[in-house]
Amino acid sequence: MDAFTTHTGVGVPLRRSNVDTDQIIPAVYLKRVTRTGFEDGLFAAWRNDPDFVLNDPTYATGSVLVAGPDFGTGSSREHAVWALQNHGFRVVISSRFADIFRGNSGKAGLLAAQVDEKVVQRLWDWLDDNPGGEITVDLESRTVRAGYGEDAVEDSFDIDDYTRWRLLQGLDDIGITLGHDDAITDFEATRPSWKPVTL
Amino acid sequence: MGKTLSEKVWDEHVVRSAAGEPDLLFIDLHLIHEVTSPQAFDGLRLANRTVRRPDLTLATEDHNVPTVDWDKPIADPVSRTQVETLRKNAADFGVRLHPLGDVEQGIVHVVGPQLGLTQPGMTIVCGDSHTSTHGAFGAIAFGIGTSEVEHVLATQTLTQARPKTMAVTVNGSLPEGVTAKDLVLTLITHTGTGGGQGYIVEYRGQAIEELSMEGRMTVCNMSIEWGAKAGLIAPDQTTFDYIEGKPEAPKGADWDAAVAHWKTLRTDDDAVFDREIELDASTMSPFVTWGTNPGQGAPLGASVPSPDDFDEPNDKVATEKALQYMGLEAGTPLREVKVDTVFVGSCTNGRIEDLRLAASILEGRRVAADTRLLVVPGSVRVRLQAEAEGLDQVFLAAGAEWRGAGCSMCLGMNPDQLAPGERSASTSNRNFEGRQGKGGRTHLVSVPVAAATAVRGTLSSPADLQEV
């Protein structure tokens, strides 16, 4: 996984709450056996609407999605994270993320930045005034910033310390755990004999 | 201070804990299916890693599989590739697989319990959010993404921050004809889709204790629909009776040792939950959804709400968008909503008890003329059991379609899908836009409501049916 320190990119306002993972990528697009190519399914149903934000050329290079609360609810499909990344998104900003989506983002290297609901509203308003404007997300200082001077929006975001550390270092989770191989082996020796096995 | 049930199970599985880091948790059972595993196995190959514990891993095929012609090759080449990839991965890495055509094939969350692999006090994960189903046995069970599937394959552990604890106490008894599904749909509308976020929830109280294992699985299954990390229920005699004699259940002295331990898996009297919710089961009634998330529901006797009924601006907008998508007018009595297709099945309501309940309502009745009823058993074992009891004949005589085992119309990934604009009453778990097929409109319902709706052609409960 590539390290993530700071990112500046075009902000995309997605003015919806409860964006479930079936909306991010419908099940019919989940049949690939690779981690790439899922951008074709990203928000597939909504993209039929000519007014949908991603159909606006202003946001064609968007990489910071700003969404309403309860983003990523529903299915555990990590394909939702891959579809966002395959399209070019590096960051999703929301006031509340579903647990599994947040976990998947951390593992795959997409930054899920949780901010106060008022900050989402201010970023939406700022993007209305500055379509195609860029948002900077700094993981080191845990801040989001859009614009300069009086109209600037600047605030902190929440992310748990461990995920932040892993993203900053670009570390492979499995490699870290395999460093504790002895502890796993010791634990296995203590498991009761009546626990079920499949083979 | 004592411990809650989930804290006891969690603590029994901590391999390593360190300040400022998530716990490293041992996983007792890892369930696998074709959709969320191929990239994980690929990752193992790239890093020259093996599956650490194939003996704690089980795979089956469910999401992609057709429910007709299951003895023929899968027609959709992309689905077929995904299923064939699972078969190759299982063979290469030594994982037990129950493929299409095998007597133990079925929805992964139906297969685990019926094999007796799902037992109290375990940690169970799967790359599927409805893994919470297994919490009905007093296990900590939750869905994971593909990166975590790879992590479990390689290490048999997961790094997990300890969730907060919540108790949902459901006092009193459910009235006649009101089911576990109505109970959990009522709860989700009460809490909203994010209400459980960050919590492992213990369901308790008289109404929960009175549920069968099938009913408990229905409740725990939908924990994820209100955002909970996992949902679980303390094991009791109902649990032990269900497990005893299952193929992979402990036997002899192992059984006695297991039950002795399982009996300790109860929340201590002096334990404290981070949050508590209380509900009264005796006031509950058949409950259905009208919107596009599982928190947008109402009693069947109510009418479609108006955006003006909500105070929060987000709720107003969400309601307006939902009614538009669903093609519903505010103020329409829900009982007057006409349904095209009824789906009985899924990991929420596709077990034998569900099919018995559906058959008891359909016996001697006919599905309405322009309504289609699909009955899909959750596993091959459920199908065979239903056929041995003659339930398939009841369904066929009523004019229903009797299918093979799989996820079917729950998720619009296999051939069983709604057409654009088609409206369903579905015993599954999600009413998201397009969930059952692009443009499809889903009302989540209980099994009795599904069966009665199939007969009348509009959302109905058995009380609305004429005597036969």
Q: What tokens does B327 get?
A: 């093609």
Distance CA B464, CA B452 (A): 8
Confidence at B314, pLDDT banded by 50, 70, 90 = confident
Question: In chain B, which residue's Cα lies nearest the Cα of A45?
Answer: B438
Test A188 with B122 for CB contact under 8 angstroms: no
Cα distance between residue B424 and residue B429, in whole Å: 13
CA-based end-to-end distance of chain B: 57
Question: Among residues 53-82 of chain B, which lie with CB inside 8 Å of chain A?
Answer: 54-58, 63-64, 76, 78-79, 81-82
Tens-digit pLDDT profile for residues B234-256 = 999 999 999 999 999 999 999 99
CB contact residues (below 8 A), chain B span 394-423, against chain A: 411-413
Across the interface, do B413 and A177 touch by the CB < 8 Å criterion? no
pLDDT tens-place string over residues B29-55: 999 999 999 999 999 999 999 999 999
Percent of all residues in chain B with a pLDDT value above 90, rounded to a whole number: 97
Q: Residue A137 and residue A140: Cα distance in Å, rounded?
A: 9
User: How confident is the model over B109-130, as a mean pLDDT?
Assistant: 98
Determine the Cα–Cα distance for residues B345 and B377; give it in Å rounded to an integer: 6
List the alpha helices (DSSP H) in B210-288: 213-221, 237-243, 252-262
Nearest-neighbour CA in chain A from B236: distance (Å): 18
Report CB contact under 8 Å: B412, A20. no
pLDDT band at A172 (very low <50, low <70, confident <90, very high): confident
Q: Tens digit of pLDDT for each residue in B268-303?
A: 999 999 999 999 999 999 999 999 999 999 999 999
pLDDT tens-digit map of B351-394: 999 999 999 999 999 999 999 999 999 999 999 999 999 999 99
Mean of the per-residue pLDDT values for chain A?
A: 96
Residues B157, A177: C-beta atoms closer than 8 Å: yes
Which of B193, B200, B348 best probes binding to A when mutated, by most A CB atoms within 10 angstroms? B193
Interface test mutation site (partner A, options B129, B251, B256, max chain A beta carbons within 10 A): B129
Token duo for residue A147:
């614009």
| CA-to-CA separations, B182 to A54, B130, B189, in angstroms, rounded | 38, 18, 11
Which 8-state DSSP code applies to residue B227?
T
* CB count in 10 Å sphere of residue B87: 15
- Amino acid in position B262: W
Chain B contact probe: residue of A19, A76, A85, A95 with most B CBs at under 10 A: A76
pLDDT band at A1 (very low <50, low <70, confident <90, very high): confident
Q: Tell me what the mean pLDDT of segment B212-236 comes to.
A: 98
- Cβ neighbors of B40 (< 8 A, separation 6 or more) are B127, B146, B147, B149, B150, B153
* Residue pLDDT, tens place only, A110-167: 999 999 999 999 999 999 999 999 999 999 999 999 999 888 999 999 999 999 999 9
For B145-176, give the DSSP string.
-HHHHHHHHHHSEEEEPPPEEEEEEEES-PPT
Nearest CB to B36: which of A16, A74, A77?
A77
With 0-12 CB in 10 A as exposed, 13-18 as middle and 19+ as buried, what is A5? exposed
Query: What was the ipTM of the complex prediction?
Result: 0.94
CB interface of B with A, residues 13-32, below 8 Å: 15-16, 20-22, 24, 26, 28-29
Residue-level pLDDT at B115: 98
Inter-chain touch B159–A22, beta carbons under 8 Å: no
* DSSP structural state of residue B419: P
Chain A CA closest to residue B417: A28
- Kindly indicate the confidence band of residue A87, based on its pLDDT and cuts at 50, 70 and 90: very high
Partner A, chain B 132-151, Cβ-Cβ below 8 Å: 142-148, 150-151
The DSSP secondary structure of B55-95, one letter per residue, reads GGEEEE--SS--SSSTTS--SSHHHHHHHHHHHHHHHHHT-
Per-residue pLDDT, A108: 94
* Mutation choice for A interface testing from B17, B21, B35 by most A CBs within 10 A: B35
CA nearest B58 in A: which residue?
A198
Q: Which of A171, A164, A121, A176 is nearest to A6 (CA)?
A: A164
Report how far residue B151's alpha carbon sits from residue B408's, in angstroms, rounded to the nearest whole number. Answer: 29
* Identity at B163, one-letter amino acid code: P
CB pairs under 8 A between A and B: 201
Residue B313 has a pLDDT of 86
Contacts of A169 in chain B (CB under 8 A): none
Cα–Cα distance measured from residue B451 to residue B460, given in angstroms and rounded to the nearest whole number: 8
Predicted local confidence at residue B435, as pLDDT? 96
Nearest C-alpha in A relative to B98? A198
Name the DSSP class of B28: S
**Pairwise CB contact (< 8 Å): B438 & A73:** no
Q: Does B119 touch chain A (CB under 8 A)?
A: yes
CB contact under 8 A, A81 and B438: no
Are B438 and A178 in contact (CB < 8 Å)? no
CA-nearest residue to A187 within chain B is B15
The pair phi, psi for residue A129, each rounded to 5°, is -80, -25
Asked whether the beta carbons of A99 and B143 are under 8 A apart, the reply is no
The encoded tokens of residue B371 equal 């309504």
Tokens of B80: 């077929």
The per-residue DSSP string of A41-105 comes to GTTTTGGGSTTSGGGSGGGTT--EEEE-SSBTBS---THHHHHHHHHT--EEEES-B-HHHHHHH
Q: What is the pTM of this model?
A: 0.97
Mean pLDDT for chain B?
A: 97
Residues in chain A closer than 8 A to B258 (CB atoms): 192, 194
CB contact at 8 A, A76 and B146: no
